[in-house]
């Protein structure tokens, strides 16, 4: 069993304090130990970032971008190795892991455009002999706290953009699946990133609190559950930090009577059961407008759910691997039992699944509920597992009210052939990311990702243009060079043109 290390100031270092087990979810076996950083270890990383900042902020954006170009190439060359590590520690299939990495690489590509995205604005002669311009300047030391479900993609949402903007970055990844995250960071150093600009420090709440409380850390990015997002936002903002904290979700798909049902079913299968439902953009509620739509949807879903190919994520040709941990599997199973007790109809029960050769893995088959109501826990709370709930309503307006009343507003979608219905839905739905016949409306890297309501704490979304704004602050400069041999009298009124 190997010991995973921190990456601080360009070196792999060990923390001699507490540690945690890293499991292979497909076998249920412990495969690594990961250190849980002390405050002293975190402070070493913060100090190294602070020391590296002056030189890095003065590095031309074009040279920063050149590092990202080389980094992108190394990521592509190491795709198979990274995907294997993700699958071994998270449990998702190799194909899913490769797809995650590709979406992360898109954000590296966007970071490569640093000379363009960091251009300021200039206006000549805003007044007599007066020019004005704005400049985007880095914050200093910034940090990111990332979840287990996307150990490659979510960190790549954060630090490539933060770094090309001139900041130094400390990453606290999930302790459940840290190996791929660490390897990717090492590839960035191999691409030419100076020591201290990026550190990876493993840990738990103690490490998070150290980042929140450190005065040197100017901004925090977070992706995870809503209670932790709210905690980080509250504690960090009252210390004057800039915070971008993405929380939980309960994503609804609305199926209209005119929907292309076969395509909708295919989309829902991937969106609900891909990555074992462990996605903040997973569709967990299908809102059917009319009983006829609901009955037809269930009839088509049931055989496909029962036919899901489930096994060890590192095997090829699978639809779904295990959940990330025994605790996650048991928690989802508890939600299923609660749904049955609440009166929902369990149409497909995935509990008790055993995979030959991997009997100790954390497996759970696809589950489907019908007759779910808004009062049930399985409707209100984020399950984060392979469970799809069907809710029946009478109209599009009822469906939209249902979604708008929910505390989360991360993602949603509508399946319809009616342009008027789609436009009304896009205009009036109170959700941050909306798809029309697209089940997972995850924005591309040159847009920005984020929900509404209790799915996001902070004013700016992740990556894209909002990411540039988050990791920089604007400085406005007004400059005047009076003409020679001219003298102007003092002005005591507020200046104007």
**Whole domain around residue 472: which residue ranges?**
2-247+455-477
Shared domain for 268 and 229, answered yes or no, is no
Which tens digit of pLDDT belongs to each residue from 187-196? 999 999 999 9
Q: In which residue are the tokens 């696809």 written?
A: 366
Please tell me the predicted confidence (pLDDT) of residue 490. 75
What percent of the chain clears pLDDT 70, i.e. is strictly above it? Answer: 98
- Residue 209 has φ and ψ, to the nearest 5°, of -65, -35
Kindly report the number of other CB atoms within 10 A of residue 453's CB atom. 16
- With bands split at pLDDT 50, 70 and 90, how would you rate the model's confidence at 497? low
User: Does the pLDDT at position 168 exceed 90?
Assistant: yes
Three-class DSSP labels, the chain: CEECCEEECCEEECCCCCEEEEEECCCCEEEEEEECCCHHHHHHHHHHHHHHHHHHHCCCHHHHHHHHHHHHHHHHHCHHHHHHHHHHHHCCCHHHHHHHHHHHHHHHHHHCCHHHHCCCEEEEEEECCEEEEEEEEECCEEEEECCCCCCCHHHHHHHHHHHHCCCEEEEECCCCCCHHHHHHHHHHHHCCCCCCCEEECCCCHHHHHHHHHCCCEEEEEEECCHHHHHHHHHHHHCCCCEEEEECCCCEEEEECCCCCHHHHHHHHHHHHHHHHHCCCCCEEEEEEECHHHHHHHHHHHHHHHHCCCECCCCCCCCCECCCCCHHHHHHHHHHHHHHHHCCCEEEECCCCCCCCCCCCCCCCCCEEEECCCCCCHHHHCCCCCCEEEEEEECCHHHHHHHHHHCCEECEEEEECCCHHHHHHHHHHCCCCEEEECCCCCCCCCCCCECCEECCEECCCCECHHHHHHHCEEEEEEEEECCCCCCCCCCCCCCCCC
User: Does the pLDDT at position 343 exceed 90?
Assistant: yes
d(CA 420, CA 237): 42
Shared domain for 227 and 125, answered yes or no, is yes
Determine, yes or no, domain membership for 492.
no
Please tell me the predicted confidence (pLDDT) of residue 393. 98
pTM: 0.94
Please tell me the predicted confidence (pLDDT) of residue 485. 62
Tell me the CATH number at 461: 3.40.605.10
Structure tokens at 157: 């949402």
Shared domain for 163 and 259, answered yes or no, is no
Contacts of 330 (CB under 8 A, 6+ apart): none
Shared domain for 399 and 302, answered yes or no, is yes
Determine, yes or no, domain membership for 242.
yes
Kindly report the number of other CB atoms within 10 A of residue 322's CB atom. 29
Determine, yes or no, domain membership for 469.
yes
Shared domain for 156 and 240, answered yes or no, is yes
Determine, yes or no, domain membership for 485.
no
| Cβ 391 vs Cβ 379: under 8 Å | yes
Which tens digit of pLDDT belongs to each residue from 441-496? 999 999 999 999 999 999 999 999 999 999 999 999 999 987 776 667 777 777 76
Tell me the CATH number at 345: 3.40.309.10
Which tens digit of pLDDT belongs to each residue from 182-224? 999 999 999 999 999 999 999 999 999 999 999 999 999 999 9
Report the number of distinct structural domains present in the chain. 2
Determine, yes or no, domain membership for 441.
no
Shared domain for 220 and 348, answered yes or no, is no
Shared domain for 201 and 342, answered yes or no, is no
Q: In which residue are the tokens 């270890």 written?
A: 41
Shared domain for 146 and 218, answered yes or no, is yes
Using CA atoms, how far residue 394 sits from 256, 288, 399, 400, 402, in Å, is 10, 8, 8, 11, 11
Shared domain for 223 and 85, answered yes or no, is yes
Mean pLDDT over the full length of the chain: 95
Determine, yes or no, domain membership for 364.
yes
Q: In which residue are the tokens 């898109």 written?
A: 106
Residues with active-site annotation? 280
Cα first-last separation, the chain: 72
Shared domain for 225 and 306, answered yes or no, is no
Shared domain for 105 and 6, answered yes or no, is yes
Determine, yes or no, domain membership for 495.
no
Determine, yes or no, domain membership for 484.
no
Among 182, 192, 167, residue whose Cα is nearest residue 114: 167
Please tell me the predicted confidence (pLDDT) of residue 486. 65
Shared domain for 110 and 64, answered yes or no, is yes
């Amino acid at each position: 069993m190997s010991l995973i290390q921190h990456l601080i100031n360009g070196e792999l270092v060990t923390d001699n304090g507490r540690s945690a087990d890293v499991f292979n979810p497909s076998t249920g076996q412990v495969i690594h130990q990961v250190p849980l950083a002390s405050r002293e270890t975190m402070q070493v990383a913060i100090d190294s970032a602070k020391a590296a900042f002056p030189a890095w902020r003065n590095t031309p954006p074009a040279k920063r971008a050149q590092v990202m170009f080389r980094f992108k190439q190394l990521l592509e060359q190491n795709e198979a190795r990274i995907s294997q590590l993700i699958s071994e520690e998270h449990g998702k299939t190799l194909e899913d892991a490769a797809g995650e990495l590709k979406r992360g690489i898109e954000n590296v590509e966007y970071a490569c455009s640093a000379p363009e995205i960091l251009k300021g604005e200039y206006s000549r002669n805003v007044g007599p002999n007066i020019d004005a311009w704005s400049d985007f300047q880095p914050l200093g030391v910034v940090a990111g706290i990332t979840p287990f479900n996307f150990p490659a993609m979510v960190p790549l949402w954060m630090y490539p953009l933060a770094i090309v903007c001139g900041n130094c970055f400390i990453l606290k990844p999930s302790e459940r699946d840290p190996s791929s995250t660490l390897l990717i960071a090492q590839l960035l150093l191999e691409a030419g990133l100076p020591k201290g600009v990026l550190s990876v420090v493993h840990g738990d709440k103690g490490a998070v609190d150290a980042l929140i409380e450190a005065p040197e850390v100017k901004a925090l990015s977070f992706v995870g559950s809503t209670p932790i997002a709210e905690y980080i936002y509250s504690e960090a903002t009252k210390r004057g930090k800039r915070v971008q904290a993405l929380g939980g979700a309960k994503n609804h798909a609305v199926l209209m009577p005119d929907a292309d049902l076969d395509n909708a079913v295919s989309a829902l299968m991937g969106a609900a059961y891909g990555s074992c439902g462990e996605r903040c953009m997973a569709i967990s509620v299908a809102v059917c407008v009319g009983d006829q739509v609901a009955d037809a949807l269930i009839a088509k879903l049931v055989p496909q759910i029962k036919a899901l190919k489930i096994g060890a994520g590192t095997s090829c040709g699978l639809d779904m691997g295990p959940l990330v941990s025994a605790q996650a599997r048991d928690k989802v199973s508890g939600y299923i039992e609660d749904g049955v007790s609440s009166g929902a109809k369990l149409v497909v029960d995935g509990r008790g699944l055993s995979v030959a050769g991997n009997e100790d893995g954390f497996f759970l088959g696809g589950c489907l509920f019908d007759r779910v109501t808004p009062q049930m826990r399985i409707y209100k709370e984020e399950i984060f597992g392979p469970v799809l709930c069907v809710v029946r309503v009478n109209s599009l307006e009822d469906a939209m009210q249902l979604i708008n009343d929910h505390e989360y507003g991360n993602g949603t979608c509508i399946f319809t052939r009616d342009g008027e219905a789609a436009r009304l839905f896009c205009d009036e739905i109170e959700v941050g990311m909306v798809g029309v016949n697209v089940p997972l409306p995850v924005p591309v890297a040159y847009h920005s990702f984020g929900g509404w309501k209790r799915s996001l704490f902070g004013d700016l979304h992740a990556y894209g243009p909002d990411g540039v704004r988050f990791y920089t602050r604007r400085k406005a400069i007004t400059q005047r060079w009076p003409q020679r041999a001219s003298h102007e009298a003092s002005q005591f009124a507020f200046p104007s043109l």
